[in-house]
Amino acid sequence: MAVISRITMQKRNKDRLNIYLSKAGKEEFGFAVDQDVFVKYNLSKGLEINEKEIKELIEEDEKKKTINLGLHYLSYRMRTVHEMTDYLEKKERQPEHIKAALEKFKELGYLDDQAFASSYVRSKSATQIKGPMKLKQELKQKGVGQHVTEEAIDQFSEESEKELIQKWVDKQTRKTAKESRSKQKQKLYQQLQGKGFSSGLIQEVLQDMDPAEEADEQQALLFQAVKLERKYASKYTGKEYRLKMKQALYQKGFSVQLIEAYLDEHEREDDET
């Protein structure tokens, strides 16, 4: 049997108290506890305490530490049950303490995968260009169950998906065009698929894209042709050079008519020089 002889507040953590014990007239450090544990067990100077009670206090304090770690983790943003479990396991907390912490957080409404998934979909679709398939993948990675994920994704309407696709298309096509409209559409399709949008809606939006102005298409062809000329001019001449240029520009999505016009003009310039 020991007696609590002194209680001091930790300098670096005001929420924790050091408990000193007196045994056979000799004082020594006994243990440290969170203030909540201190109050719960009504600890005070002069209180007699045995080994069993000390172990119980230490156990309760470890449980409190786990809860505090979880609360700190929640302070940055909402978490899923899987994320919280993974975090506490990495912090090497005891399985029974993790379980107790999870139950407490669920009871308080701090952990709710359904609320998390719904909020995640609303937030990401409002601030980023991400489609439902990408969001499904991300929710799965965060440990959200399939049923809960499907319910959250249901709020992602087809109309809102099309709006996001259109937003991305408008953003990309505002940039200086250095590629044919055909190549632009191909790249946009691949980018939007990578962002998790459905193929059908992507194609629907891209089909409605305004055709490129002829001047813009000519400017893009000129940009690509100059690069190709550096590649082919020293290797090929005459008909072979023209064929290589024609094939390469066609693969980049330019029309045969536009390519022929450019090559004819280019040859005329060569004749004049």
pLDDT at 30: 94
Closest by Cα among 110, 112, 3, 126 to 53: 3
pLDDT at 273: 43
Domains and CATH numbers, the chain: 1-49 (no CATH), 113-156 (1.10.10), 160-272 (no CATH)
Alpha-carbon distance of 103 to 86, in angstroms, equals 15
Question: How many Cβ atoms are within 10 Å of 188's Cβ, its own excluded?
Answer: 19
Alpha-carbon distance of 151 to 162, in angstroms, equals 20
pLDDT at 263: 86
Alpha-carbon distance of 146 to 78, in angstroms, equals 19
pLDDT at 214: 62
Q: What is the pLDDT of residues 120-179, one digit of tens each?
A: 999 998 888 999 999 999 999 999 999 999 999 998 889 999 999 999 998 887 665 677
Alpha-carbon distance of 130 to 11, in angstroms, equals 47
Task: For the chain, list residues with pLDDT below 70.
Answer: 174-177, 210-215, 267-273
Beta sheet of 26-34, edge-to-edge order: 26-34, 16-23, 2-9, 48-49
pLDDT at 271: 46
pLDDT at 215: 67
